[in-house]
Structures are given as structure tokens and as C-alpha cells.
Amino acid sequence: MAPNLPPPSSFTIRMYQAETEELTYTPDLAFLNFVQDGKTAFIDFHDLEDFRSAVPNTPSYNYVWAIYGNLDVQKAGTYTFCTISDDGSLMYVDGRLVVNNDGLHGAQESCGGISLSAGTHAMFLPGFQHYGAAYMSAHYYGPDTGRVKRYLRSDSSKAPDPPKPSAWTLRMFKGSGIQNMAQANWRFLTFVGEKTVRDVYVPNNQEFVRLMPGMPDNNFVWVYYGTVAISAPGVYSFCSTSDDGSYLFVDDSLLVDNDGLHGGERRCGSVRMAPGNHAVRIEGFNHYGGAYQDLDYAGPDTRDQYRHMVSLPTAAPPLPPPSQWLMRMYRTNYEPFELVPDVSHMTYVGEAVISYIAFSTLQELRNWIPGTPEAKYAWQVYGKVRIMIPGTYSFCSQSDDGSLVYFGSTLVVNNDGLHGADKRCGSISLSAGDHDVVVVGFQNYGGVYQVFSYSGPDTRGVERWTPSVSAAGPPDKGGKAGQFGNWPPS
């Protein structure tokens, strides 16, 4: 009796398209957009039309194929597998990388060997085409072929379920004069937009602008939020390649400091990780010129090969609310008017909600509070300063004439007296949370000035105008006697 004939060869081919406009390697399918699937008897595609004969909706460029098959091995031994591809391709047998023919290139062959037992072995052959000519073929030889090189066959087209898409949350911000990561602190910049993206890979400014319309071509900041699922415990290396600088955080701890004005530099850091989900965040900036950001990692889950990171869907934290302070204005005819006054002894003029305590002319004050007089007036400003990272903070008041800064009932900055735009600072240790702040200042005669700024862990040491998350003041607009300032003001 003649032996049973093997079943007809059949592979499953799935086609994907990449979001990036410059595909240069075979990416994880979780980073891609599924297009269509089909069947093919053998892997022998010589051009785009060949691909479209199996998958009619194959894109014209920047696409990735994923071919699945199952090889029934009759005779155990060493088998050699080869791919010829344009551009890159890979081949896995039972999850093990056997052929690495990846990268941008013309039709070239690469082979690899593996020892296989008798039985069924799963095959996976991904590859990509960036632009231009396309080619993909696969061959093998070993004991079952009599050591003769033949087209790779598949005894079953059974394929695993498609992977769930990777999902990073990308936020973009813009500013001016950004030259380091301290100045790139997104909490103090202008929010441009938010988008879910598959991968942390942006090769140039144009790709950032494509991802986020409205972005400027310089002085912008990106923040990626993701979650990596770790299966095997051990030491993992995370790398950020960026132009200009970047920070990489794992579980909110800074792991990679790639700060500075530079081209596409790569820096890495290692951390021991337990199984489970771990938060990953990348912040970076571009000052002028080219922009670039790439993330890869290696460890037990990747067999210590550096790969781009698939992220579980991750929500970004709430954006900070717009800064708002409540300013109240008071006037008096008292002489001499030489110190920051207790406003309960003065006449209330009006109030306004302002973004920051920063002004340098009487006209600015009158734009907010029209009844502000020419001379002998005082402002009392209420707000809440939100602290994210506990620690010691420096608060500064630059004013003409004098000013005082209180946290609750504690005087932190004393810049009292008749003087020009003098600046004085004070430090205070603050816990995370919202802190009540009152700034009181006055002007006797002449020019007026007030800027309230701070620095500390939340600002990465950079002095910035102090934001407030609330513009609520006490209901009594007349002020409370003896609470703040001096009376008589001399």
C-alpha cells in the first residue's frame, strides 16, 4: 500500500500597515494596524502584485506581513531554514528565532539551523517592505528533504489569535527656550494634544507633527505613558535614544537620564523587576533641529534581545488645572505708608481672578481691577499651591514696594518696606497636597511690581512663576484684623 500523501501546503498570511512613515525593521505586530488576511500554498512573493494575489488589500508601501504555518517533521535532526526578502524578514520555529534577515535592503538571503524532533512545529515568518520593490520567499532542507533545498511547506494553516494592539498615550507640549529636561517640565508648558500610539519610535520632526497637528517644529516636549507586562522575573535593561534630551521612568523612578542638547544619543539603565504590570514613562524635548525618540528594552521576557516595548492601554494622569489666584485690592489715605498693611483697616476696591502673581505696571492692575488708585494701595492675593513631590521648596517675592508671603499662618518670605523691585526668598518643607498661600503687597507712590515664583522638586530646580489650583478667598472681603501685615503701616 502506498503511504498517505501529505496534505496540501497552506500558510496563513496576515497583512499589517505601520503608523510610522519610515519603517526600517520588522516590528512587533502589536505596533501595527491590521489590514487583511489570506492563504498561500508556498511563500514565494516576487513583487507587490504577488502579495496582492494572496491579500488583495496589501498597501503600496510601509507594510508588514505575518505568515503562519505548521511543519510536520518525519525525521528528527538538524534543519536549515532560509528566507530571501526585500526588505527585512525573520523566521521563528516554535518561538525561537532561527533566521534574522531584518533591516532595509534589497532581495538578499539569510539562513539558520535548528535541531527538530519528529512532530509538528509552529512557524512564524514576519517581514516588511518600506518602499519600492518587494520580495519574500522561504526554503528549507534537512532529513525530510534528503538535504535538498526545497520551498518551505506547511501542513496546516492554523494560526494563533492576532495580538492585542500596543497602546501608549502620547502627550505633546510647547514652550520656548527649552534646553534641558528641567526646562522641559510639561507641567509648566502649553498643552498641544493627546493621542494613542502603538510604539515609541519617532524618527524626525515631521513625524511628530504628523502625529500631533499644530506642533511647532522646535521647542516642544513629548511624554509617553505606558505599561509593560513582565512575565519572567529578573534584571531588565531599558534604553532611550533621543534628540535632544530625555528621561525614562520605570514605576515612577528615574532609570535613564539622557538629558542635554545632543543628537540621537542612546543611554540605558537596568532594574530588577518582578512579574506583573509596571508603569513606564518617557519624557523628552527638542530645542532646535532634528528630533528623535526611540525606546527599547531587553531582559528575560525578550531572551535578552533588545526590542521595542508593547504597552497595555495606559491612561495619562490629569493635566494640572489652569493657574488661578484671587486678587483683592484696597486703598487708604494713611500717612506714613511704609510697610505691608493689615488690609482690614483699608477700603476694599475690587477683586479679580488672575492666572499668576506677575505684574509690572499700574495699567496691568487696572486691567484686572479698574478702581485701583494711583497711590497708597495694597493687594492681598489668595491661592492654593499644589505640591506633587514632597520636599524643601524656595519661594521668592520680587516687589515694589514691599510684600509678605504666608503659608497658612507661617510667614515664609519677608520683603517688607519701601524699596524698588527687590527680591527676597524663603524656604519651607512641604508635604504632597494643597497648601493655602496668601501674598500681600503694597505701593506707596511711583512704579509698581510683583512677581511670585518658586523652585523645588516639582520644578526640577528651575525657578518658575507659582501656580495656584484655587482662587477661593474668605467671604469677608474686608480682611481679618491682625491676620496679615502691619497696622499702623509705619
Domains of the chain: residue spans and CATH: 11-151 (2.60.120.380), 168-302 (2.60.120.260), 325-465 (2.60.120.1560)
What's the confidence (pLDDT) of residue 1? Answer: 45
Start-to-end C-alpha separation, the chain: 119
Q: State the DSSP string of 275-324.
A: SEEEEEEEEEEE-SS--EEEEEEESGGGTT--BPPP-B--PPPPPPPPP-
For 279, residues 6+ apart whose C-beta sits below 8 A from its C-beta are 225, 226, 227, 249, 250, 251, 252, 314
Its pTM stands at 0.78
- Strand ranges for 87-158 from DSSP E: 89-93, 96-101, 108-116, 119-129, 135-141, 150-151
pLDDT in tens, 140-152: 999 999 999 999 9
What's the confidence (pLDDT) of residue 247? Answer: 98
Residue 156 is given by DSSP the state: B
Q: State the DSSP string of 199-214.
A: -SEE-SHHHHHHHSTT
Q: Residue 379 and residue 328: Cα distance in Å, rounded?
A: 6
pLDDT band of residue 249 (cuts 50, 70, 90) is: very high
CB of 459 closer than 8 Å to CB of 188: yes
Please say if the pLDDT value at position 118 is more than 60: yes
Q: Residue 240 and residue 293: Cα distance in Å, rounded?
A: 7
pLDDT in tens, 45-59: 999 999 999 999 999
Least confident piece of the model among 13-22, 221-230, 316-325, 435-444: 13-22
pLDDT in tens, 309-344: 999 999 999 999 999 999 999 999 999 999 999 999
Q: Residue 320 and residue 190: Cα distance in Å, rounded?
A: 11
Q: Residue 208 and residue 216: Cα distance in Å, rounded?
A: 9
Q: Residue 167 and residue 185: Cα distance in Å, rounded?
A: 23
Mean pLDDT over each residue of the chain, to the nearest integer: 95
Instruction: Output the nine-digit C-alpha cell for 92.
Output: 521563528
Looking at residues 412-433, what average pLDDT do you find?
A: 98
The β-bridge relationship of strands 246-250 and 358-359 is: unpaired
Between the CA of residue 204 and those of 244, 292, 400, what are the distances in Å?
Answer: 11, 5, 47
The one-letter amino acid at 371: G
User: What's the maximum distance between 2 C-alpha atoms anywhere in the chain?
Assistant: 122
The H or E element containing residue 364 is: helix 362-368
Q: Residue 46 and residue 316: Cα distance in Å, rounded?
A: 44
Looking at residues 244-270, what average pLDDT do you find?
A: 97
Q: State the DSSP string of 218-252.
A: SSEEEEEEEEEEE-S-EEEEEEEEEES-EEEEETT
CB of 179 closer than 8 Å to CB of 221: no
Give percent above pLDDT 90 in the chain. Answer: 89
